[in-house]
Structure 1
Amino acid sequence: MKTIVSVVSTLMQNRTSRTNLLALMKLVLVLVLLITAYSITFHMLMEREGQHHSWVTGFYWTLTVMSTLGFGDITFESDAGRIFSILVMVSGVIFLLVILPFTFIEFFYAPWMKAQESAKAPIELPEGTSGHVIFTNYGPVTSMLIRMLEENDIGYVVLVPSVEKALDMRDKNIPVVCGDPSDPKTYTRVGVEKAAMVVTTLDDVTNTNVTFTVRELTERVPIIASATAEQIRDALELAGVTHILRLEEIMGQALARRVIGNDAEAHVIGELKGLIIAEASPAKTPLVGKTIAESGLRGTTGVTVVGIWTRGRFEPVEPDTRIGEHTVLVLAGSQEHFDRYNEVYGKHVAEDERLKVVIVGGGRVGRATSRALTEAGIPWTIIEKLPERVRHIENAIIGDAADFEVLVEAGLQEAASVIVTTHDDETNVFLTIFYRRLRNGLQIISRCTHESKASRLHRAGADLTLSYASMGANTIFNHIRGSDTVLLAEGINIFKVNAPRALAGKTLMETAVRSRTGCSIIAVERDGERVVNPDPDILLPEDGALVLIGSLEAEKNFRAAFPCQDS
């Protein structure tokens, strides 16, 4: 009974459903009047023929003829009566077998079934839900971030405006609530005041409205909002946003950092209270061809190699890991250490040796990449099909990036690298194959929107790929985890824990943390002092803290191996 009431309530809340139901009632009324008129006419014609029947018989005859059952137990003897019978039968076929069923299904049955489905769509979270993340959009970034939240046992819910999408996502076991993302009632139903964060990645105008709506209800909950234009920043800040997410800028800077042969300096990609993490390309430096042990980086500069990027994957390093020309080093150290590193290795590429980069795609990511390359002093050219995207860019070429003449004009034959930045993964795969066939030695860096396409791009010939979804998810997750954790844009996780008792009194070498968990200890804190890049023979404190670096899986392994520490 409760279900029927909820379905009827949902049905009657829709204005179109109410209008359709009224039209159906009018049609039924016309049918009742028609049956009554036929019954009266039946009596009149039967009286003329000398036959006497009750009014019940009149209605009975009318319905059997209109429904084409035609029992034949009551018949007219005159031609006028038989003509009337034909009229009743034809109108019955039209009304009872065509118009009424179609109208019933269209105006009542279909809306009723839809209302039943709508009644099943969740419109609120269970009472007492807290510490959850509220999403206003489900896309590649949200999908990637949800996997991270599930791995860390953090609750979440996705707001969707349509019942159909809510039911579809519910069938995929994704917690959803159906509601307007700009309606305060929606956020009340999902317990926004007890939430850990609100993440909105819709269009700029809607993101501003969402931020303003949430701030009407609570000032405490952090809000992360994406922005595609710099001018929207002021509106979001006035609405009360906590963090503004410019994924295009983050992606552009990351793509520009990966250009080899142009810049050997270390570029900062993350920091945790004075501990700096940076990337550096070893191409055209004496480091190429050497192992980590042979490089002597730690003794020469003070920095520690905590990992390398190889074909888009982060890998921990061992002393015998060899540094290749296409390897990207992930380094940890203090500012003093990196100043020394840049002094020793950053000058191996002279300004006049820096080769041009071709950027394919003049969208937001492509333009952000060009700005990052300009800041690094690296020459570049953009290829773009749509003139309006690059109207104010001088060194832009309008044309198809698969046209050989356009590529020659852009200088692809002399370029050191090509960066593919279009938002379509299939196009990026096609262009990667094409460029690899044209020049086998060309460095190809490609953006991919979906994480699943990265392996295809590598098979197509890309040297490096950066996932838009992964980068966005990592950036947001970094804010969710708080100040003692830094999840860098490319997926390296820096986290801080109190020193486990199981490791107290042991040297760094004796703990074998890296081989056991995949994490590397990059700093040790004790008595308020931090030792960055500790020596292998340092004794780990009992009451201090450790700063480690590794993937999310490596962090999980560490916490499982040493469950007694308090983070």
Structure 2
Amino acid sequence: MRVIVCGAGQVGSTIARHLASEGIDVTVVDLSPEQARRADESYDVRGMVGHAAHPEVLERAGAQDADMLIAVTRSDEVNMVACQVAYSLFNVRRRIARVRHHGYLEPIWQGLYASDQLPIDVIISPEVEVANGIVRRLKTPGAFDTVALADGRVHLLGVHCNTGGCSLVGRRMKELSTSGGSGIVVGVIVRNGHAFVPRAEDQVQQGDDVYVITETARVDQVMAYLGHEEQVARRIVIVGGGNVGLNLATRIARHAPYVSLKLVEHSRERAEYISRELRDSAVVIQGDALDKEVLLEANVQSADTIIAVTNDDETNIFASVLAKREGCTRAITLVNKTSYEHVLPALGIDAVVSPSAITISTILRHVRHRSVSALYTLREDFGEVIQATAQEGSRLVKGTLREAGMPEGMLIGAIVRNGEVIIPTSSTRVHPGDSIIAVVAYRALRKAEAILAGPSVETGSQG
């Protein structure tokens, strides 16, 4: 498989690294010689300097032989034109573009992206995806991460085991089915910044973060078992009125009208615009979110949740910390820099939202093996949760899970068969056509794909 990635920023370079590690032939195009050189030297990819929408640049990048083009430059327009050129001149089969400006995403313009107009197969909108991710976290307030899989039948929950009420602490994985933990699978343990897929003898320790997989109908029960019975927020303060903040406020006002909503925006002009858009559904305050008086005007001291989503990581972090010091119960914070990820829990930040991680998850979902229908990145440096269809003739369906020979770093968390959710044990058998929810560390990805694939199917990791 051959892929051209347009844009060598954080998202583009991370996607290129992931794809190259799976044996995919990757060329990265960027206007910046430094960015292109860094990609070329840091990963097993070809870095090339040039304008991603220019035909001669794409020709030099090998577009005539490419299977896919992924356009994630900083410019929506460059991304869209790159897809058009790739289709019209080089017949690249699959085209993915990141598009940020909401004006391009209005439903009334959706015909723009038809194959006979502007041929983009997949449009990724980070702002919309981030707002969706935050709404998911609001629905399960005790979790720092939550993802619905298998048409909503299965949930992945990320939870801090930092309370005395977490019944997982001290339990070996093999004991869960007999210690009140039946119905859940611990897919990942994060300890002192290091993530790993646990084995049968591993224990959860106080202070660990865990990712557990369970049936959606049991989420409230599982959260209580993990020591988290927080109530859904009814008083919310949003910091930042950009595309994410406005999208989020609009969704909350529409779907949870009982919420008392306040939004803080630094720009007077933008604040006035947001006030007109939201009308009576939110109180908009113009001011600096790092000013204590502004936060108090927004009543953070009595708020259930502050959601900081400005374009500046430091503003988001410090606004969250200040709000919690004033008495706000919970902080959800948008952070772009992955280098901040490990220190944020120590600052009292409850949930971190990474636009780049969300974008990468969405894009990789469209690159993976054809049997993979959903994918979510777990910590950019660790691995993924995937939803895949069990293939006839694959190793996974030839015996029990114990006999499947799964590599270290892979774990089956749930099976969905004819609409029924099965939380598996080592003696569970998988049937062809079952939906499999699996945690896979990146180091185990190739072996995992080999187990999932049928005998005559090429995996996406083969060139």
- Asked if residue 553 in structure 1 is aligned to residue 442 in structure 2, the reply is yes
Taking the aligned partners of 2:230 and 2:345, their CA distance within structure 1 comes to 30
SS in 2 for 1:456: coil
Determine whether 1:389 maps to 2:270: yes
CA displacement at 1:385 relative to structure 2: 0.3
CA contact (8 A) 2:390 2:396 kept: no
**Aligned residue for 1:151?**
21
Separation in 2, partners of 1:247, 1:557: 28
Contact 1:306–1:549 (CA under 8 A) maintained in structure 2: no
Call closer, same or farther: CA 1:509–1:442 in 2, change over 3 Å.
same
Equivalent residue in structure 1 for 2:366, among 475, 479, 504: 479
Residues of 2 paired with 1:554 and 1:548: CA distance? 18
Q: Relative to structure 1, is the Cα distance of residues 397 and 328 closer, same or farther in structure 2, using a 3 angstrom cutoff? A: farther
CA separation of 1:200 and 1:520: change in aligned 2, threshold 3 A: same
Segment drifting more, 493-502 vs 315-324 = 315-324
1:188 corresponds in structure 2 to 59
Deviation sequence 1:53-88 (CA, Å, 0-9, x none): xxxxxxxxxxxxxxxxxxxxxxxxxxxxxxxxxxxx
Distance verdict in 2 for CA 1:539–1:185, change over 3 Å? same
User: Are residue 458 (structure 1) and residue 345 (structure 2) matched?
Assistant: yes
The letter of the residue matching 2:72 is T
Structure 1 regions of 5+ residues with no counterpart? 1-130, 299-303
Answer yes or no: is the 8 Å Cα contact 2:401–2:430 preserved in 1.
Answer: no
Residue identity matched to 1:470: A
CA shift, 1:418, in A, is 1.4
Task: Tell me which residue corresponds to 1:132.
Answer: 2
Q: Residue 518 and residue 180 in structure 1: after superposition, are their counterparts in 2 closer, same or farther (change >3 A)?
A: closer
Instruction: Say if 2:89 is the partner of 1:217.
Output: yes
> Which residue in 2 is equivalent to 1:175?
46
Instruction: Pick from 291, 306, 325 the counterpart of residue 403 of structure 1.
Output: 291
Alpha carbons of 1:256 and 1:314: their partners in 2 closer, same or farther (altered >3 Å)?
A: farther
1:489 positional shift: 5.3
Report the count of equivalent residues: 415
Q: Which amino acid aligns with 1:213?
A: V
Q: Distance in 1 between matches of 2:197 and 2:243?
A: 33
Per the alignment, residue 240 of structure 2 pairs with 361
Greater share of residues in strand? 2
Question: Where does residue 355 of structure 2 map in the other structure?
Answer: 468
Offset, 1:413: 0.8
Equivalent runs, 1:270-281 vs 2, <5 Å: 270-271=149-150, 276-279=153-156
Identity rate, percent: 22
Give the number of the structure whose residues are more often helix, by fraction: 1
Is the contact between residue 157 and residue 176 of structure 1 (CA under 8 Å) also seen in structure 2?
yes
1:345, 1:519 → 2: CA distance? 19
Aligned equivalent of 2:335:
448
Greater mean deviation of Cα atoms: 501-510 or 153-162: 501-510
* Cα distance between partner residues in 1 of 2:79 and 2:316: 29
Q: 2:95, 2:121 within 8 Å by CA — same for their partners in 1?
A: yes
Q: Is the 8 A contact 2:5 2:71 kept in 1?
A: yes
Could you tell me which residue of structure 2 aligns to residue 429 of structure 1?
Answer: 317
Mapped partners of 1:206, 1:437: distance in 2: 43
Distance in 2 separating the partners of 1:505 and 1:467: 39
How many angstroms does 1:542 deviate by?
9.2
Give distance in 1, aligned partners of 2:453 and 2:98.
38
- Give me the whole-angstrom Cα distance separating, in 2, the residues matched to 1:257 and 1:530: 22
Query: What is residue 269 of structure 1 aligned with on the other side?
Result: 148
Which of 261, 264, 267 is equivalent to 1:380?
Answer: 261
Equivalent residue number for residue 255 of structure 1: 134
CA distance in structure 2 between the aligned counterparts of 1:438 and 1:139, rounded to whole angstroms: 37
* Structure 2 unaligned residues grouped into runs of 5+: 169-175, 276-281, 379-383
| 478 and 434 in structure 1: CA distance in 2 versus 1, 3 angstrom threshold | same
Q: CA deviation at 1:474?
A: 1.5
Q: With the length of structure 2 as denominator, give the TM-score of the two structures.
A: 0.73
1:257 is displaced (CA, Å) by: 2.0
1:450-506 alpha-carbon deviations (Å, 9 max, x no partner): 222211323333222122222211211111114322222554233456588877765
Aligned residue runs from structure 1 range 101-116, under 5 A = none
Counterpart pick for 1:517 among 383, 387, 409 = 409
Aligned partners of 2:121 and 2:394: how far apart in 1? 37
Tell me, yes or no, if the aligned pair for 1:135 and 1:156 is still in contact at 8 Å. yes
Q: How many angstroms apart in 1 are the aligned matches of 2:15 and 2:310?
A: 22
Match of 1:522, as an amino acid?
A
How far is the alpha carbon of 1:361 from its aligned partner? 1.3
Instruction: Using the TM superposition, give the Cα deviation of residue 315 of structure 1 relative to its aligned residue in structure 2, in angstroms.
Output: 6.7
Q: Quick one: which amino acid aligns to residue 216 of structure 1?
A: S
Show the counterpart of 1:244: 123
Q: Is the 8 A contact 1:211 1:236 kept in 2?
A: no
* Residues 30-179 of structure 1: pairs in structure 2 closer than 5 A: 131-161=1-31, 166-167=36-37, 170=40, 172=42, 175-179=46-50
The within-5 A match list for 1:334-353 is: 338=216, 340-341=217-218
Whole-Å separation in 2 of the counterparts to 1:563 and 1:267: 25
CA distance in structure 2 between the aligned counterparts of 1:190 and 1:315, rounded to whole angstroms: 37
1:492 matched to 2:385? The reply is: yes
TM superposition shift of 1:240: 0.6
Q: Is the 8 A contact 2:390 2:432 kept in 1?
A: no
When the two structures are superposed, what TM-score results if normalisation uses the length of structure 1? 0.61
Q: 2:246 aligns to what SS in structure 1? A: helix
- Cα distance in 2 for residues equivalent to 1:200 and 1:188: 15
- Shift in Å at residue 222 of structure 1? 1.1
Whole-angstrom distance in 2 between the partners of 1:216 and 1:172:
32
Superposition map of 1:194-209 within 5 A: 194-202=65-73, 203-209=75-81
1:415 partnered with 2:415:
no
Counterpart amino acid of residue 255 in structure 1 = I
